[in-house]
């Protein structure tokens, strides 16, 4: 690919106390591409993408967006670069309803400067209708929702605001088969619109199906490089995750 | 899947399909519970005192005694909702009261050369007090938000610091009498009288009904389910009855004849035969109503309020959503400081002088009012009206017991027990209803 990457994560490192959670990792992402991140629990996947989403400040390394160096020191910076994130923990305010969470930090207001609750609820009903048509609990706090319903709200929030770069940290972990299908379709649709997507997922079959390229992390380091998903089998990917070695004959 | 058929009907079915009469009213059960508790307390004391508790005079006194704590309690809701605490409000009230007392009796006279009794004195003093209160509050918020010192520690230190800054401000002296205009905010010396009280009642009824109607219209405009009309009417009627009943009670409290005689004499006139006048709505209560209104709008309709509740519910989520939670903390404590100064106006004006011990133990009353009013110390939950009702319930208990002749130490034992009981009931209620 000759065009400039949408995102370049170059030589990123971050440590917590003595733990090198991410250790000199480089990954890039092109428009209209889905890059999968795989790895065992505690491998450093979430930590890596949190450097991009502004939740953590990396110790060293650089982030480039559209070829230009980007300073992302907090979540507001990331949003300014049109980076949207679905966190593994979902990051929802449990005491607020779906609409309040969807628009948190970006509330719609009327001319008086007060929040336009009606408009926000109407928009929420629209976007949720596409993601999870069974969803009806618009006036309950999200603490009253099921795990999957909560996840739908988090996904809705990430896709509503016309992101250019989407980070999805295990977005379907709590979803039923039908809802997982809908998210897969959604990823395909967003890809067509030219978004770049980082997808963290433990399901190698899902990664094989949805992603263009994939990277495997182990103990904070990248196993080999980023591989083309077409060049590897699911067994190769599993081997990389478990053994921590790139399969023979695969160009990284 | 079996539920695909029901999917479409599900999305369009109005949520009001079959519901009980009670459910249709969509009343706030917690609010009802608190009003119920308040009515019970009032009725019990009324029978114990042989009808003296619910006289217009006592209702009037009860409301003006509640104002100072209630104003601060509305700010404490924001503080507690964001999982903080403010132990310094009583001391902050003392410092701002001292500053305002000094401004109107000395500093403004010396620096600006204003004569005693000048009409601008009160307003300049109030402005000064509000600025000082807001600044101290913001400073507390900065220590808590940016330097990450726990609010408990910052305000525990503040409790000692500001109580004694107040002492040094006045050299430990009682300052008074305060300016006459200033004293209008105290209660008895500043009331609207019969006509203006009823004007207020009419405006309030109009505003309440308009708010209800426009909320309904907004919902309908987006095609959301609304209450049946009869239920809307019933709720509206209740609100109107409450407003009118309250004003009727206050306008039934007549100014004693000897006070009227004195007033007329002061103006060089003679009290006409058969002339009567009523106190009506105190300006301090009007101030509380205004604060309640503004704080409720802030809590429910502004981004600031939304961020306060989101941060209380999940601080990490708020941060990840791009909310500047540190600056938010500064704003919350600045609001608290502003409200302490406003309460200081009411409290010192009611006494007609500034005394050293003004506001002592108010931090506990204010926190108790917010908590009795349903603010959860675990954060994320609380209402402005709840805190005000909480303040009213505590004041009723205290005044009621005083009227019945309960010893002061025992009064405090009861208030303490009620605080614990209120929280227990709240916990049980939340478990039962599954609300968090
Ligand atoms: N805020 C933190 N403070 C201390 N250690 C942390 C922090 N965040 C992550 N870590 C550590 O960094 C390492 C990587 O964690 P991370 O959450 O990135 O793993 P992961 O690959 O996302 O795992 P999972 O598949 O379980 O989600 C772990 O050892 C974890 O304990
Ligand atoms: Mg993770």
pLDDT, residue B23, reads 67
One domain for residues A68 and A175: yes
Q: Largest Cα–Cα distance in chain A? A: 64
Ligand nearest to the CA of A45: 1
**Partners of A198 in beta bridges:** A35, A167
With a CB cutoff of 8 Å and minimum separation 6, the contacts of B434 are A144
Task: Kindly report, residue by residue over A36-72, the tens digit of the pLDDT.
Answer: 999 999 999 999 999 999 999 999 999 999 999 999 9
What is the per-residue pLDDT for B5?
Answer: 37
Residue A228: beta bridge partners?
A213
Please count the other Cβ atoms lying within 10 Å of the Cβ belonging to residue B402. Answer: 12
Domain spans of chain B, in order of start? 3-190+282-435, 195-277
Q: How far apart are CA B426 and CA B430, in angstroms?
A: 6
**Rounded-to-integer distance, Cα B221 and Cα A193, Å:** 32
| Residue B103 DSSP class | I
Check whether residue A150 and residue A169 sit in a common domain: no
Q: Is residue A87 part of a domain?
A: no
Cα A41 to ligand 1 centroid, rounded to whole Å: 8
Name which of B309, B310, B312 to mutate to probe chain A: the one with the most chain A Cβ atoms within 10 A of its Cβ: B310
CATH of the domain at A240: 3.40.50.300
At A250, is the pLDDT very low, low, confident or very high (cuts 50, 70, 90)?
Answer: low
Residues A9 and A117 in one domain: no
Q: Check whether residue A140 and residue A168 sit in a common domain.
A: no
Using CA coordinates, name the residue in chain A closest to B325.
Answer: A105
Mean pLDDT over residues A171-178, rounded?
Answer: 86
Closest Cα in chain B, distance from residue A87 (Å): 9
Rounded distance between C-alpha atoms, residue B186 and residue B179, angstroms = 11
Is the model's pLDDT at A252 over the cut of 60? no
- The 3-state DSSP class for residue B270 equals coil
Gap from B295 CA to chain A (nearest CA, Å): 13
Confidence at B375, pLDDT banded by 50, 70, 90: very high
Query: Taking an 8 Å Cβ-Cβ cutoff, which residues of chain A contact chain B?
Result: 53, 55, 74-76, 79, 85, 87, 89-96, 100-101, 104-107, 109, 113-115, 117-119, 121-122, 129, 133-134, 136, 141, 143-144, 178
Phi and psi at residue B339, to the nearest 5°: -70, -35
**Which pLDDT score, from 0 to 100, does residue B265 have?**
82
- Could you report how far apart the first and last alpha carbons of chain A are, in Å? 15
Q: What percent of chain A lies above the pLDDT cut of 70?
A: 97
So what's the pLDDT on residue A176? 85
Tell me how many degrees the CA angle B308-B309-B314 measures, rounded to the nearest 5: 105
Q: What are phi and psi of B241, to 5 degrees?
A: -60, -40
Q: Which residue has the tokens 């303040």?
A: B391
Segment B194-248, tens digit of pLDDT: 889 999 999 999 999 998 898 888 888 877 778 888 888 888 998 999 999 999 9
Please state the ipTM of this predicted complex: 0.90
DSSP-derived 3-state class of residue B278: strand
Give a yes or no: residue A90 inside a domain. no
Confidence label for B11 from pLDDT (cuts 50, 70 and 90): very low
pLDDT in tens, B268-288: 888 787 788 888 899 999 999
- What is the tens place of the pLDDT at every residue in B76-116? 999 999 999 999 999 999 999 999 999 999 898 888 888 88
Last residue of a domain, one of A161, A183, A203: A161
Question: B47-61 burial, b for 16+ CB within 10 Å, e for fewer?
Answer: ebbeeebeebebbbb
**Cβ–ligand 1 contact at A115 (below 6 Å):** no
| Six token digits for residue B284 | 């301090």
Chain A / chain B CB contacts < 8 angstroms: 97
Ligand 1 in contact with A149 (CB < 6 A)? no
Final residue belonging to a domain, choices A161, A192, A212: A161
Query: A91 vs B317: CB contact, 8 Å cut-off?
Result: yes
Closest atom of ligand 1 to A48 CA is 18
Pocket lining: A45 vs ligand 1, CB cutoff 6 Å: yes
Q: Is residue B87 a contact partner of residue B152, using CB atoms and an 8 Å limit?
A: yes
CA of A89 to the centre of ligand 2 (A): 9
Same domain for A119 and A64: no
Range of the structural domain that residue A150 is part of: 99-161
Q: Average pLDDT for residues A186-197, to the nearest whole number? A: 91
Tens-digit pLDDT profile for residues B31-70: 888 889 899 999 999 999 999 999 999 999 999 999 999 9
Burial class of residue B404, CB neighbours in 10 A (0-12, 13-18, 19+): middle
Report the pLDDT averaged over residues A18-29: 93
- Is the pLDDT at B8 greater than 60? The verdict is no
Q: How confident is the model at residue B434 (pLDDT cuts 50, 70, 90)?
A: low
Read off φ and ψ for residue B123, nearest 5 degrees: -70, -40
3-state secondary structure of B345: helix
Split at pLDDT 50, 70, 90, the class of B26 is low
Question: What does the CA dihedral B303, B308, B309, B310 come to, rounded to 10 degrees?
Answer: 80
* Residue A50, ligand 1, Cβ within 6 A: no
Give tens-digit pLDDT for A225-241. 888 988 888 888 888 88
- What is the 3 state secondary structure string of chain A? CCCCCCEEEEEEEEEECCEEEEEEEEEEECCCCEEEEEECCCCCHHHHHHHHHCCCCCCEEEEEECCEEECCCCHHHHHHCCEEEECCCCCCCCCCEHHHHHCCCCCCECCCCCECHHHHHHHHHHHHHHHCCCCCCCCCEHHHCCHHHHHHHHHHHHHHCCCCEEEEECCCCCCCHHHHHHHHHHHHHHHHCCCEEEEECCCHHHHHHHCCEEEEEECCEECCCCEEHHHCCHHHHHHHHHHCCCCCCCCC
Most confident listed range (A116-130, A164-178, B284-298): B284-298
Query: Is residue B10 predicted with pLDDT exceeding 50?
Result: no
Task: Flag if A93 and B314 touch (Cβ within 8 Å).
Answer: yes
State which of A145, A161, A177 marks the end of a domain: A161
Q: With cut-offs at 50, 70 and 90, classify the pLDDT of residue A133.
A: confident
The answer, as to whether pTM is greater than 0.95, is: no
Mean pLDDT across chain A: 90
Domain membership flag for residue A93 = no
A39 lines ligand 1 (CB under 6 A): yes
Please check whether residue A188 lies inside any domain of the structure. yes
Fold of B3-190+282-435: ABC transporter involved in vitamin B12 uptake, BtuC (1.10.3470)
Residue B2 has pLDDT above 70, yes or no: no
Are A70 and A112 within one domain?
no
Phi-psi region of A162 (alpha: psi -120 to 50; beta: other; left: phi over 0): left
B56-81 vs B384-404: helix crossing angle, rounded to 10? 140
pLDDT at residue B431 tops 90: no
Q: Look at residue B4 in the predicted model and tell me its pLDDT.
A: 38
Distance between CA B415 and CA A97 in Å, rounded?
A: 35
d(CA A97, CA B409): 45
Are A168 and A77 contained in the same domain?
yes
Residue found under tokens 């992402």 = A29
Rounded mean pLDDT, B172-197: 88
Residues A145, B339 contacting (CB under 8 angstroms): no
State in Å: Cα A36 to ligand 1 middle: 18
Q: How far is residue A2's CA from residue A203's CA, in Å, rounded to a whole number?
A: 30
Please state the domain count of chain A. 2
Segment B384-413 shows an average pLDDT of: 92
**Is B361 exposed, middle or buried (CB count within 10 Å of its CB: 0-12, 13-18, 19+)?**
exposed
Q: Are residues A17 and A114 in the same domain?
A: no
| A105 and A224 fall within a common domain | no
Structure tokens at B254: 């007549």
Ligand 1 atom with the smallest distance to the CA of A220 is 14
Same domain, A173 and A64: yes
A88 lines ligand 1 (CB under 6 A): yes
- Cβ contact A76–B11 (<8 Å): no
Cα distances (Å, whole numbers) of residue B416 to B88, B409, B411, B421: 19, 11, 9, 9
CA distance A150 to A132: 11
Whether A250 and A175 map to the same domain: the answer is yes
Is the residue at A89 inside a domain? no
Asked if residue B401 has pLDDT above 60, the reply is yes
From residue B121, alpha-carbon distances to B22, B166, B188, B355 in Å are 53, 20, 20, 19
Q: Which residues contact B75 (CB under 8 A, 6 or more apart)?
A: B86, B89, B295, B335, B336, B338, B339, B340
pLDDT at B320 over 70: yes
Whether A216 lines ligand 1, by a CB cut-off of 6 Å, is: no
* Whole-angstrom distance, CA of residue B109 vs CA of residue B115: 6
Counting residues of chain B whose pLDDT is more than 90, the rounded percentage is 63
Q: Do residues A71 and A37 share a domain? A: yes
Question: Would A224 be classed as within a structural domain?
Answer: yes
């Amino acid at each position: 690919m000759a065009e400039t990457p949408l995102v370049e994560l170059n030589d990123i490192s971050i440590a917590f106390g003595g733990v090198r959670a991410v250790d000199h990792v480089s990954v890039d992402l092109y428009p209209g591409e889905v890059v999968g991140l795989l790895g065992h629990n505690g491998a450093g996947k979430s930590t890596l993408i949190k450097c991009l989403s502004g939740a953590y400040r990396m110790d060293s390394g650089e982030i480039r967006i559209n070829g230009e160096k980007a300073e992302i020191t907090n979540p507001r910076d990331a949003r300014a670069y049109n980076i949207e994130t679905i966190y593994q923990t979902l990051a929802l305010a449990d005491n607020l309803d779906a609409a309040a969470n969807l628009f948190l930090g970006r509330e719609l207001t009327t001319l008086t400067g007060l929040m336009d609750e009606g408009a926000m609820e109407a928009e929420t009903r629209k976007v949720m209708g596409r993601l999870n048509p069974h969803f009806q609990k618009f006036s309950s706090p999200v603490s009253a929702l099921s795990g999957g319903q909560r996840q739908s709200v988090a996904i809705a929030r990430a896709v509503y605001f016309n992101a250019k770069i989407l980070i999805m940290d295990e977005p379907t972990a709590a979803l039923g088969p039908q809802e997982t299908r809908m998210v897969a379709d959604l990823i395909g649709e967003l890809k067509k619109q030219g978004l770049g997507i980082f997808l963290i997922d433990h399901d190698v079959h899902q990664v094989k199906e949805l992603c263009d390229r994939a990277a495997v992390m182990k103990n904070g380091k990248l196993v080999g490089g980023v591989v083309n998903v077409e060049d590897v089998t699911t067994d190769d990917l599993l081997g990389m995750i478990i053994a921590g070695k790139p399969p023979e004959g695969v160009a990284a | 899947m079996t539920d695909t058929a029901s999917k479409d009907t599900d999305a369009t079915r109005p949520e009001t399909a079959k519901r009980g009469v009670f459910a249709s009213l969509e009343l706030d059960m917690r609010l009802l519970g608190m009003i119920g508790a308040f009515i019970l307390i009032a009725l019990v004391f009324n029978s114990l005192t042989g009808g003296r508790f619910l006289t217009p005079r006592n209702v009037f006194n009860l409301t003006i005694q509640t104002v100072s704590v209630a104003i601060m309690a509305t700010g404490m809701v924001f503080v507690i909702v964001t999982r903080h605490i403010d132990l310094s409000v009583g001391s902050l009230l003392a410092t701002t009261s001292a500053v305002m007392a000094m401004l109107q009796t000395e500093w403004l006279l010396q620096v600006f050369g204003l004569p005693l009794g000048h009409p601008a004195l009160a307003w300049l003093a109030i402005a000064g007090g509000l600025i000082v209160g807001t600044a101290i509050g913001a400073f507390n918020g900065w220590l808590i938000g940016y330097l990450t010192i726990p609010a408990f520690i910052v305000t525990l230190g503040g409790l000692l610091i500001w109580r004694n800054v107040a002492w040094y401000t006045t050299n430990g002296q009682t300052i008074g009498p305060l300016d006459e205009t200033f004293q209008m905010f105290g209660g008895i010396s500043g009331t609207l009288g019969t006509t203006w009280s009823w004007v207020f009642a009419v405006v309030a009824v109009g505003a309440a009904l308009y708010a209800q109607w426009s909320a309904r219209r907004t919902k309908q405009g987006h095609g959301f389910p609304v209450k049946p009309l009869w239920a809307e009417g019933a709720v509206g009627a209740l609100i109107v009855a409450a407003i009118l009943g309250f004003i009727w009670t206050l306008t039934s409290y007549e100014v004693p004849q000897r006070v009227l005689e004195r007033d007329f004499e002061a103006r060089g006139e003679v009290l006409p035969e058969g002339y009567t006048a009523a106190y009506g709505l105190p300006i301090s209560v009007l101030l509380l109503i205004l604060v309640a209104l503004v704080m409720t709008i802030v809590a429910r309709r502004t981004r600031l309020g939304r961020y306060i509740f989101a941060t209380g519910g999940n601080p990490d989520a708020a941060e990840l959503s791009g909310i500047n939670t540190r600056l938010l903390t500064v704003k919350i404590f600045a609001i608290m400081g502003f409200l302490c100064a406003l309460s200081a106006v009411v409290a010192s004006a009611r006494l007609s002088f500034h005394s050293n011990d003004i506001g002592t133990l108010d931090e506990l009353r204010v926190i108790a009012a917010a908590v009795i009013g349903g603010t959860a110390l675990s954060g994320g939950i609380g209402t402005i009206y709840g805190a005000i009702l909480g303040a009213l319930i505590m004041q009723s208990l205290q005044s009621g017991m005083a009227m019945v002749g309960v010893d002061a130490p025992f009064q405090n034992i009861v208030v303490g027990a009620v605080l614990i009981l209120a929280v227990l009931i709240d916990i049980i209620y939340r478990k039962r209803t599954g609300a968090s």
